[in-house]
Amino acid sequence: MKALRYLLISLAALLLAACGSAEVSTPAPQAKPKEAITFKNTVVSLTFDDGDADNYQTRSILKENNLRATFYVVSGFTGTSGYMSADELRGLHADGNEIGGHTLSHLNLTTIRGGELKREVCQDRLNLLAYEFDVVSFAYPYGHYDEEARQAVIECGYNNARVVTGGPALLPPADAYTFQAMPYIVQDTRFPKMTRYVTEAESGGGGWVVFVFHHVCDGCNQYAVSLDTFSKFAQWLGEQQKNGIVVKTVGEVIGGQVQPGVAP
């Protein structure tokens, strides 16, 4: 009887060991790899406002990732403390980046009228044309405009003008002189949110996703993107080009001939 009990205990132990061994050796289910999104109807434009000196850091990043951007310049600030020099702007332009206008002194165009308004818009463009840039694109300071400001942009020889928010824009936009951008990129805008702006546009049927950057620095300004975040986003955009995404300057998207300068 005692021998039978030992035999039963031994058999039970062997069964438990076998079950444990089977559990260990059973492979865990493998997660399916995430499929890469294919872009068919989305165009992205990277735009930088004001001509801040820290924007020049993006030159090599853009070039490394086969990207070109539009830099909207306040020409009255060019070469002054905190802003890019004419030579730095020429370097960006030589790489295929676009230089656009952003007024002579960054005034809200809805607060000025007549000759002062025309001077802010037309003289700014004349200054940039004098640097031998093909100046066709304009951005309203603060995104503010009214019908008189819009008309001044047209009369000064621009082919398009950007506002802020309301994006993604249609392709082609309903009005080239008030096309919409995504909300400002600010210091708490993270890399995943930036990519979502693009992927959600594609999922929604496509469109023109226009990004608006100001400073490029680590926490130096409310309207700033860190260099690391911008680098990650630029690399992501560069990689997505093989999946069909199109990245163009604003001037490339809208098109049109470069018009002569107009005196204010």
Q: Which tokens is 47 given? A: 């735009």
Establish whether the linkage from the previous residue to 172 is cis, with ω within 30° of 0. yes
Number of alpha carbons in the 13 Å side-chain half-sphere of residue 203: 8
Give the tens place of pLDDT for each residue, 60-111: 999 999 999 999 999 999 999 999 999 999 999 999 999 999 999 999 999 9
Record the pTM. 0.86
Query: How far apart are the C-alpha atoms of 156 and 148, rounded to whole Å?
Result: 12
Query: How far apart are the C-alpha atoms of 52 and 228, rounded to whole Å?
Result: 18
Pick the CATH number of 42-254 from 3.20.20.370, 1.10.10.1100, 3.10.129.10, 3.40.50.720: 3.20.20.370
Least confident of 34-38, 131-135, 180-184: 34-38
Give the tens place of pLDDT for each residue, 219-264: 889 999 999 999 999 999 999 999 999 999 999 999 999 999 999 9
Mean pLDDT for 202-223 is 95
Query: How far apart are the C-alpha atoms of 150 and 138, rounded to whole Å?
Result: 10
